[in-house]
């Protein structure tokens, strides 16, 4: 077992995990000798639960020849336990790829494999050093009053793209594949549904209700768009013009 501290979304978390790799993959977020807001510990039951989730998802994709790595299960168990606790601190985890441009944060959501990471890469190619990668898979969002701040986390996708920082979230965009680029602002109801689909949802009724309340509060101020995207670099300009001009 390995014990360490990480600081994410302005919260210090103690972690006890099985694999040293879990700590190494948290570099950039590691801290030490800080007062912990909470501590999470991975046990054998957590590992078995993650194994079941992994196998079910692999079978759903039609995969029968797969390998289950312990360190992967370990990291997932840590992320899930932290996401669960973060709800108590008004922080929600959303599956998506997030960037900042000129100090404004944008989150792109879609089912896995749609092209979220590809699209944010196009932004980096189009706008260069103006763009900072916040997180490429599982950012945290702190909702407070009329503001929402999006933060990087160590769970940052297969390319390990994240920055241990936070910026004001100014827009969310659902990506769908299309031959031509176009973008539209979603209605309040459709926007809420799109974001909820990609949000970590606790099995605890109280935490689930709190998550819903935080989403409603956040989306009163933050617009949600839908980008029909052909994954050409022009898609980045299409999204940029609409989302920046909506501010």
Evaluate whether 125 touches 116 at the Cβ level (below 8 Å): no
Residues of the chain with pLDDT under 50: none
Q: Distance between CA atoms of 240 and 231, rounded to whole angstroms?
A: 14
Structure confidence at residue 145 (pLDDT)? 85
Structure confidence at residue 219 (pLDDT)? 96
Residue 153 phi, psi (nearest 5): -140, 165
What single string gives the DSSP state of each residue in 2-40? EEEEEEETTEEEEEEES-HHHHHTTTTSEE-S---SEEE
Structure confidence at residue 247 (pLDDT)? 60
Q: Distance between CA atoms of 153 and 163, rounded to whole angstroms?
A: 8
Structure confidence at residue 54 (pLDDT)? 86
Structure confidence at residue 208 (pLDDT)? 97
Nearest to 18 by CA among 67, 65, 66, 81: 81
* DSSP letter, residue 162: B
| 3-class SS of residue 52 | helix
Structure confidence at residue 63 (pLDDT)? 77
- Structure tokens belonging to residue 76: 């997932």
pLDDT tens digits along 129-139: 999 999 999 99
What single string gives the DSSP state of each residue in 108-136? EE-STTSSHHHHHHHHHHHHGGGEEEEES
Q: Distance between CA atoms of 234 and 70, rounded to whole angstroms?
A: 41
Domains identified in the chain and CATH numbers: 2-89 (no CATH), 91-245 (3.90.228.20)
| pTM of the predicted protein model | 0.94
Nearest to 84 by CA among 227, 241, 206, 233: 206
Q: Measure the CA dihedral 165/166/171/176, to 10°.
A: 40
Structure confidence at residue 245 (pLDDT)? 83
Q: Distance between CA atoms of 107 and 150, rounded to whole angstroms?
A: 9
Structure confidence at residue 56 (pLDDT)? 85
User: For the chain, first and last CA: distance in Å?
Assistant: 47
Structure confidence at residue 6 (pLDDT)? 98
């Amino acid at each position: 077992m390995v014990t360490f501290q990480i600081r994410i979304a302005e919260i210090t978390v103690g972690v006890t995990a099985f694999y040293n790799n879990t700590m190494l993959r948290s570099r950039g977020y590691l801290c030490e000798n800080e007062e912990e807001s909470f501590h999470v510990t991975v046990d054998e039951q957590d590992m078995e639960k993650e194994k079941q989730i992994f196998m079910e998802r692999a079978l759903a994709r039609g995969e029968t020849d797969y390998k289950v790595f312990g360190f992967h299960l370990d990291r997932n168990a840590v992320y899930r336990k932290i996401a669960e606790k973060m709800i108590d601190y008004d922080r929600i985890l959303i599956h998506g790829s997030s960037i900042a441009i000129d100090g404004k944060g944008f989150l792109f959501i879609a089912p896995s494999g749609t092209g979220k990471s590809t699209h944010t890469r196009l932004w980096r190619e189009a706008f260069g050093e103006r763009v900072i990668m916040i997180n490429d898979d599982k950012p945290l969002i702190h909702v407070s009053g009329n503001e929402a701040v999006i933060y990087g986390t160590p769970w940052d996708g297969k390319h390990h793209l994240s920055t241990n920082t936070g910026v004001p979230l100014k827009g969310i965009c659902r990506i769908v594949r299309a031959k031509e680029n176009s973008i539209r602002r979603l209605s309040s109801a459709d926007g809420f549904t799109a974001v909820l689909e990609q949000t970590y949802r606790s099995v605890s009724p109280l935490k689930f209700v709190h998550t819903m309340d935080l989403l409603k509060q956040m989306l009163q101020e933050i617009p949600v768009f839908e980008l029909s995207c052909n994954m050409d670099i022009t898609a980045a300009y299409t999204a940029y013009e609409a989302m920046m001009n909506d501010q």
